[in-house]
Structure 1
């Protein structure tokens, strides 16, 4: 499968998954659950995922990124994944009462037990999904991701409507794991077997030893956010904070999330061929920033009416948090594949130290913000975003050898396009047409006008993303035109 065809299938999976998750979150938040319910689940999930860093141990990256792979070793890799997953499940289940006591929320324990049950099942999808990425079979991966998302989120909506509260979200996680494992094994069956000799899994464990430290550091930085906010500002504040973070993250995933997995496999092939990565990486940065920056500027400008329209008045406290989170995302998408490229180039030890620095900054900056207020916690995302960008832009620039001025040139062109996209909403706000009371059709019209201005600016300044968009449209239109001609 070609890179662009793989990208189409990967984008299809991302869009389908996003649509399902987004629709479920809107229905559940607007009709059934309060911020305190979502906050309770967010704390439970964050606590469980801190333990789940043991689960993958870099198995997915190892399988999808290795130049050579022995098929006879795959069942042993799957056996290791299942063994680790069951151990993680036991740890989460045992820790559940302690976490509930720490937060003074007895209802946390049952949520953690449901999430722990999902860790018994999810490892069965690890190796099959990694093989699908390695083989660039993103059509099969579409069925895995979209099918499991539909089943899990559908379950959550039904149970929330039946009055299950926060536990409806935990049941959704469990059903997602069940369906994902089932479809993955159907598409690319791998029967787990425990290795009898250490040599059969030695290459993977050698990679995983440092990958575990890397995953642990990244998990602390990413998953501790809800735990810190929940402890210092309360469960309801956690619900508002996590909803803002989730919406910004979902939009990023919708816009360019599909590109990452495709380019990881493509970069692995370039590495194996001995080709330089600097030029294709800068091209990737230009596409990432052109798409994401425009989306994040629009999200920041439309935060208040968007929250009111989607989630209702109970969630208006997350509007300002959404604005700051969207502005912070501008930095986070400016250096894509910051973990994957160093791993492909065999720089895992140095990457671990860089990531530890990143994690320390994440925890310290967010904690400082939480000691001030919930609003300050939102602002801290922008501060941390700048620190994160400075760390990884410097590191990857030295690693791949691209010039910093070339990177800034990419940013300048993408920034101009993002500003053009935000002009309609900026003008509307200047004339007092913004705010939570903005009608849906007005917001839709201004957003559509912003998209047109963005496309026109891409074409006017000959942004590299414009060529990619034209080629994508051509690839999508070709089969339709062929059928019409026939």
Structure 2
């Protein structure tokens, strides 16, 4: 499958998954659950995912990024994944009462037990999904991701409507794991077997020893956010903070999340062929920032009316948090594949130290913000975003040998396009038409006008993303035109 065709299928999966998750979050938040319910689940999930860093051990990256793969070793890799997953499940189950006591919330324990049950199932999808990425079979991966998202989120909505509260979200996690494992095994069956000799899994475990440190560091930085906010500011504040972070993260995933998985496999092929990565990487940065920055500027400018329209008055406390989170996301998408490229180039040891620095910054900056207020916790995302960008832009620039001047040139062109996209909302705010009371049709019209201005600016300055958009549109339209001509 070609890179662009793979990108189309991967984007389809991202859009389908986003639509399902987004619709479910709106229905659940607006009709059934309060911020305290979502906050309770967020703390439980974050605590469980801190333990789940042991689960993958870099198996997915190892399989999808290896130049050569022995098929006979795959069942053993799957067996290791299942063994680790069951161990993680036991640890989460045993830790559940302790976590509930630490937060003074007895309802946390049942949520953690449900999430622990999902870890018994999810490892069965690890190796099959990694093989699909390796083979660039994103059509099959579409069925895995979209199918499991539909089943899990549908379950959560139904149970929330039946009054299950926060546990409806935990049941959704369990159903997602069941369906994902089932579809993945159907698409690319791999029967787990425990290795009889160490040599059969030695290459994977050698990679995993450092990958585990890397995953652990990343998990602490990413998953500790809800735990820190929950401990210092309370469960309801965690719900508001989590909802804002989730909405910004989902939009990023929708806009460019599909590109990353496709380019990881494509970069692996370029590495194997001995081709330089600097030029294609800067092209990737151009596409990432052109798409994401415009989306994040729009999200920041429309935070209040969006929260009111989507989630209702109970969630208005998350509007300012959403604005700061969206602005912070501008930095996080400015250096894509910051973990994957060093791994492909065999720089895992150095990457571990870089990631530890990143993690320390994440925890310290958010903790400092939480000691001040919930608003300061939101602002801390922008501060941390800048620090994160400085760390990884410097590291990857040295690693791949691209000039910092060229990177800034990419940012300048994408920034101009993002500013053009935000002009209608900026003008509306200047004339007092913004705010939480903005009607839906007005917001939709201003957003649509922003998209048109963005596209016009892309074409005017001949941004690389403009040519990619044209080629994708042509690829989508070609089959339709062919059928019409026939």
TM-score by shorter chain over 0.5:
yes
SS at match of 1:136: coil
**Deviation at 1:276?**
0.1
Question: In 2, Cα distance between the equivalents of 1:101 and 1:484?
Answer: 65
Shift of 1:129: 0.1
Post-superposition offset of 1:288: 0.1
| Residue 373 of structure 1, CA deviation | 0.0
The C-alpha deviation readout for 1:261-320, integer Å capped at 9, x for no partner, is 000000000000000000000000000000000000000000000000000000000000
Give me the whole-angstrom Cα distance separating, in 1, the residues matched to 2:136 and 2:483. Answer: 27
- Residue by residue over 1:128-166, the C-alpha shift from the partner in whole angstroms, topping out at 9 and shown as x without a partner, is 000000000000000000000000000000000000000
CA–CA distance in 2 between the matches of 1:362 and 1:97?
Answer: 27
Listed one character per residue, the Cα deviations across residues 409-466 of structure 1 (whole Å, up to 9, x for unaligned) are 0000000000000000000000000000000000000000000000000000000000
Q: How many Å separate the matches in 2 of 1:235 and 1:284?
A: 39
Quote the offset at 1:214 in angstroms: 0.0
Question: How do residues 106-185 of structure 1 correspond to structure 2 at under 5 angstroms?
Answer: 106-185=106-185
The alpha-carbon deviation at position 225 of structure 1 amounts to 0.0
Cα deviations across residues 217-272 of structure 1 (Å, max 9, x unaligned)?
00000000000000000000000000000000000000000000000000000000
In the alignment, which residue of structure 1 is the partner of 2:390? 390
* Counterparts of 1:274 and 1:196, CA distance in 2: 36
CA deviations on 1:349-377 (whole Å, 9 max, x unpaired) are: 00000000000000000000000000000
Distance 1:410 1:13 in 2: 28
Count, aligned residues: 486
Quote the Cα distance in structure 1 between the aligned partners of 2:473 and 2:83: 45
Task: Give me the whole-angstrom Cα distance separating, in 2, the residues matched to 1:485 and 1:315.
Answer: 51
Cα distance in 2 between the residues matched to 1:481 and 1:375: 52
> In structure 1, what is the Cα distance between the partners aligned to 2:287 and 2:33?
37
Instruction: Tell me if 1:404 matches 2:404.
Output: yes
Cα distance in 1 for partners of 2:49, 2:396 equals 28
Query: How far apart are residue 179 of structure 1 and its match?
Result: 0.1
Partner-residue secondary structure (3-state), 2:189: coil
Alignment map for 1:29-68 (pairs within 5 Å)? 29-68=29-68
Query: CA separation in 1, counterparts of 2:205 and 2:311?
Result: 45
Equivalent-residue separation in structure 1 for 2:453 and 2:147 (angstroms): 36
Measured against aligned partners, the alpha-carbon deviations of 1:323-344 in whole angstroms (never above 9, x if no partner) come to 0000000000000000000000
1:121 Cα deviation (Å)?
Answer: 0.1
Can you list the C-alpha shifts for 1:85-133, whole angstroms capped at 9, x where unaligned?
0000000000000000000000000000000000000000000000000
Extract unaligned runs of 5+ from structure 2. Answer: none
**Cα drift, residue 168 of structure 1:** 0.1
Partners of 2:187 and 2:176 lie apart in 1 by 16
Distance 1:330 1:52 in 2: 28
SS at match of 2:206: helix
Residue 200 (structure 1) shift = 0.1
- Return the alpha-carbon distance in structure 2 between the equivalents of residues 124 and 477 of structure 1: 37
Residue 481 of structure 1: how far off its partner (Å): 0.5
Shift of 1:321: 0.1
Distance in 2 between residues matched to 1:82 and 1:185, nearest whole Å: 13
For the residues of structure 2 that align with 1:479 and 1:2, how far apart are their CA atoms?
16
Q: In structure 1, how many angstroms separate the alpha carbons of the residues matched to 2:330 and 2:405?
A: 19
Q: Which portions of structure 1, spanning 4 or more consecutive aligned residues, are displaced by more than 2 angstroms?
A: none
1:457-468 → structure 2 map (5 Å cutoff)? 457-468=457-468
Deviation string 1:171-229 (CA, Å, 9 cap, x unpaired) is 00000000000000000000000001000000000000000000000000000000000
Alpha-carbon offset, residue 80 of structure 1: 0.1
In 2, Cα distance between the equivalents of 1:121 and 1:189?
A: 15
- CA separation in 1, counterparts of 2:229 and 2:12? 34
Structure 1 alignment gaps of length 5 or more: none
